[in-house]
Amino acid sequence: MPWLPRAALLWDLVLGFLGTAAFLVDLGADLWAAVQYVLSGRGRYLWAALVLALLGLASVALQLFSWVWLRADPVGLHASQPPGRCLALLHLLQLGYLYRCVQGLQQGLLVWQQEAPSDFDLAYADFLTLDISMLRLFETFLETTPQLTLVLAIVLQSGRAESYQWVGICTSFVGISWALLDYHRALRTCLPSKPPLGPGSSVVYFLWNLLLLWPRVFVVALFSALFPHYVALHFLGLWLVLLFWVWLQGTDFMPDSCSEWLYRATVATILYFSWFNVAEGRTRGRAAIHLVFLLSDSVLMAVTWLTHIAWLPSGIPLQTLLPVGGVCVLLGLALRLVYYRWLHPSCRWEPDRVDGTRGLGSLEWRRLPQNRRMAQLAQNFFPRVRDEAALPQKGEVNGVL
């Protein structure tokens, strides 16, 4: 194998290992915080219960997604997997996502070690990586982001931060931005003539996501610290509105109607914190509506804090943090415009290449594993690509004829 493709495979393998390590570190930080809350006593048992409840709910949702996708995949695609009962037991023990990460690393290592890996091995490695990226994104917004909001609310309410809380805050921020960047990289592998993110565009994409996300998380945490009994009603009210909006867009991501509602509920949770496109077509209008909606809600919560400023410990410089949050929003919007104006590569169609390696027109290519789930989201995310040969056809089962 030439040096350049081999280096790219090694880079993907390193990123996969780092993503798995980040998941385990974040999980360890959350468990560490829950244990510390229990040991410290002083009425912190509720905090420990909330940490464990968020962990449990997100884990169950993640295992359901993983299991439904495995059942929907073509028979014989995952020949190296254990029997169905063993897989079911792994998911029942909440180890399905971790198993997928290990499987993806094994397949990536297998491909990297081969002198001339087959097209099937390369396509299968991509297939596994795309599913892992999607599950990582779900885990980020179902568990990591709510956990970050919770720990910030606890710090704001108590007036100080312990060492384990600082660890949780740092790992959560990095993990969230990493998941967004990894998801974007995964989407681009599904499209023709879509080169990988370069260093410059990667940095800008990472920064504008971080700059837009953390003020939203902070203002929700501030509202939670002020009104811990009402934040659940606030989340539920907005979540129902966002769920209705997702339903109106007619999503068709999961293999059946029941699991589709699980997907819609998850997307509504993501939209509570950040933008996520689920429908085909021009997204500028929908993204603008969502941005105005979230900014209006965040401003209302900030105004609520101004009317109840004496309710929180005076040692926290909130008068400084809120203006800094506003500046971060403006910088994030500016970097987002810069990225899509100058750093977002064009979607030119090259009929003889996909990701620079595989021909599209041949029957042999169409028999390779292709992740229909992520290909559909890629078409929604990059609406300018409109060639039916680029994506799996309706007669295919998850991209396999």
Which of 7-11, 156-160, 229-233, 341-345 has the least mean pLDDT? Answer: 341-345
Choose between 3 and 391: higher pLDDT. 3
Enumerate residues 6+ apart whose C-beta is below 8 A from 398: 72, 73, 74, 370, 371, 372, 373, 392
pTM recorded for the entire structure = 0.86
Q: In terms of pLDDT, which residue wins out, 143 or 398?
A: 143
Q: Where are the domains of the chain?
A: 6-307+319-344+374-381
Tens of pLDDT along 74-133? 877 877 778 888 999 999 999 999 999 999 999 999 988 888 888 888 888 888 999 999
Contacts of 368 by beta carbon, 8 Å cutoff, 6+ apart = 119, 120, 123, 358, 400
162 contacts: CB under 8 Å, gap ≥ 6: 36
pLDDT digits (tens, 9 = 90+) for 308-320: 765 666 566 667 7
Closest alpha carbon to 133 in 377, 346, 344, 354: 377
**pLDDT tens digit string along 164-198?**
899 888 888 878 877 887 887 787 777 655 555 56
User: For residue 231, what are its two tokens?
Assistant: 């934040």
- Assess whether pLDDT exceeds 80 at residue 340: no
More confident residue, 222 or 309: 222
Task: Count CA within 13 A, CB hemisphere, residue 139.
Answer: 31
> Is 150 a residue whose pLDDT tops 50?
yes
Residue 12 has pLDDT above 90, yes or no: no
